[in-house]
Chains A and B, each alone.
Chain A
Amino acid sequence: MPPLINADGIHKSFGGMEVLRGTTLRVDEGEVAAVIGRSGSGKSTLLRILNGLETCDAGFLSVDGERISGLERDLRRLRLKVGMVFQQFNLFPHLTAGENVMLAPRAVKRLSRPEAKSLAGEMLAGVGLADRFDAFPDQLSGGQQQRVAIARALAMRPRVLLCDEITSALDPELVGEVLEVVRKLAAAGMTLVLVTHEMRFAREVCDRLVFMHNGVVGEEGKPAELFSRPQTPELAAFIGQAGQGSAGR
């Protein structure tokens, strides 16, 4: 079976700075991949290219067998297949949790109001927030907001969900509830690409670890193997530091 996401030799520069220098990433259906790496190594940039928030300068990208060009129409089709959750939850502040989830299915997929409403109810229940349907974002905790953002992305029934450091903006005591939702998604067979600093979580939940370094994938493989036998000094150093950094969790 061809990979669900096939990104090959992706290049991206900002101004004169080359952030991605031929990055290659393949993600299979049902796989959970964690992307790790130092700050500035291009993790977010890679994710944003995967759902068309940035276009790449060179390289090949296909999702679900469809080649993606830079055309706006193509990008919207791409985004139907690739959902994304951000570090800052980015909920629409003027809409309730339920309306946040309903908006895109209504506007993009033309669902009727009752259809969208029952879909939103189902999605919110999936992240444990069935009872907060009518709450506005600023009445929710950060963890709850992030779970609504996950429900909102899932309501579009994407083939893959990209998560860019979705627990980094949360107070430590709220991280667990969001990771729990991700864990459930992984167990249900959802294809996931997670940029994360939660090394223990990555180790437990992910099928594959992708270590980005200097704009390319420096090393990748099964988490257990990478953690116990890093092949490059960069990864060894990174694991050492990250291990200390999240020792408390």
Chain B
Amino acid sequence: MPYQFSFEPIYDNWGILAEGVLTTLGLTLAGGALGLGLGVLGAVVRFRRTPVQYQIVTAYVEMVRNTPFLIQLYFIFFGLPSLGLRLAGWQASILAMALNLGAYSTEIIRAGLESLPRGLFEAAAALSLTPRQTLRLVLLKPALKNVWPSLCSQVIIVMLGSSVCSQLAVVELTSAASLLQARTFRAFELYLFATAVYLLLAVLIRFLLRRVGRRFIARGRP
């Protein structure tokens, strides 16, 4: 007898699935905002090459970029309690996502700063702006504009990566689907559903971030 598709488990358990979707969104929102903030700070330090800070940020970036996300997550959740920092699953997830995105976006934003024409610095200097004012008022927005598409992609990568946070018993989309799968054995339908939702979320986030970018970073030209 061929496999009988049944999407009933999805209708019947929409509550937990909806919770999963919202949790994934929430993790992404918090981790994304914190991560991009970290990225801006890291990029500024790397760009200005302030001694000591520069080495610290470089070490952080390399550490994150050369280790698996799952290990970073485990380290924060299972490792840090040994140092007295005990975090809930969702807190550890947000922290891991923020640190991860922060490292990648540090490099992306720094590249954006470095791609700006020298003339912008010189025009700012000629107007007596301090280096700090130049960065904040003149360079940051054009740099972010240049790399905004890459940053959007990175946020989406981190959103998809939040799937791994199911390992900490955080009921996000992946763990919601897995929970129901274990109960109903409807793997095909549930993971198809999860796939579709991740895809939709990715499209939605890209759309929203593009609007944010247009509103705050690339004002003016459509």
Contact = CB atoms under 8 A, between A and B. Distances in A.
Contact of B129 (A86, A104, A136, A138): A104
Contact of B120 (A53, A84, A90, A138): A90
10 contacts: A53-B125, A90-B119, A92-B124, A94-B142, A103-B127, A103-B138, A108-B133, A136-B220, A139-B221, A149-B123
User: Among the interface residues B122, B128, B145, B217, which one has the most CB atoms of the partner chain A within 10 A?
Assistant: B128
A76 B128 contact: yes
Contacts of B138: 92, 103
A212 B138 CA distance: 34
Contact of A88 (B119, B125, B133, B218): B119
B141 interface: yes
A125 interface: no
B50 to A, nearest CB: 15
A79 interface: yes
Contacts of B129: 103-104, 107-108
B117 A88 contact: yes
A91 B218 CA distance: 15
Contact of A84 (B126, B133, B141): B126
Nearest to A91: B123
Interface string B62-90: 00000000000000000000000000000
Interface string B125-160: 111111001000110011001000000000000000
Contacts of B124: 92
Interface residues of B, number: 23
A91 B122 CA distance: 11
A51 interface: yes
Nearest to B216: A94
A92 B221 contact: no
Interface string B106-129: 000000000001011011111111
B119 A94 contact: no
User: Among the interface residues A52, A92, A152, which one has the most CB atoms of the partner chain B within 10 A?
Assistant: A92
A1 to B, nearest CB: 25
A86 B127 contact: no
A53 B127 contact: no
Given A53-B122, A79-B126, A136-B219, 10 more contacts: A51-B126, A76-B128, A79-B128, A83-B127, A86-B126, A90-B120, A92-B120, A96-B220, A103-B137, A104-B128
B127 A104 contact: yes
Contacts of A94: 141-142, 145, 217-220
Nearest 8 Cβ contacts at the A-B interface: A136-B220, A90-B123, A104-B127, A90-B119, A84-B126, A94-B141, A79-B128, A108-B128
Interface string B162-206: 000000000000000000000000000000000000000000000
A80 B130 CA distance: 12
B141 A83 contact: no
B127 A79 contact: yes
Nearest to A96: B220
Contacts of B122: 53, 86, 90
Given A90-B120, A92-B138, A94-B145, A108 B127 contact: yes
Nearest to B145: A94
A120 interface: no
Given A86-B122, A88-B117, A94-B142, A152 B127 contact: yes
A53 B137 contact: no
B10 to A, nearest CB: 45
A152 B219 CA distance: 20
A156 interface: yes
B63 to A, nearest CB: 33
Interface string A129-162: 0000000101100000000010011001000000
A233 interface: no
A28 B4 CA distance: 93
B220 A139 contact: yes
